[in-house]
Amino acid sequence: MKTTCLPKNSVVEYVRDDNREPFGAFVSLKTEDGFSVGYARCNRKDHFVKRKALTIAIGRAMVSNVESGNIHPEMVQYLPHFVERCHKYYRTKGRTVNAT
């Protein structure tokens, strides 16, 4: 089984529905000026695969940063909690965040 290699100093959080089934993932990566956030969301009709979600989210975090304006509406409600968690982990309270 292949594994997705997480970059050093990354934070991962899976988003779950009311039945505790995962349907999305957030990943943050450390940058020089704070951190960058990427996300992946699985269509509800498809089967969620953690490895694929991590690969997509890491790619998005590397290319750009998530902002609530360009994130899937279903994921927006989970973003503030994840960003707060990342601020605590990276100790970057008050700095700007790149989110894509």
- Greatest mean pLDDT among 28-42, 66-80, 83-97 lies in 28-42
What's the CA gap between 45 and 50, in Å, rounded? 16
Q: Whole-prediction pTM value? A: 0.84
| Per-residue pLDDT at 1 | 47
What does the block give as tokens for 22?
């995962």
Nearest to 12 by CA among 1, 24, 23, 28: 28
Going from N- to C-terminal start, the domains of the chain cover 10-90
| Per-residue pLDDT at 86 | 93
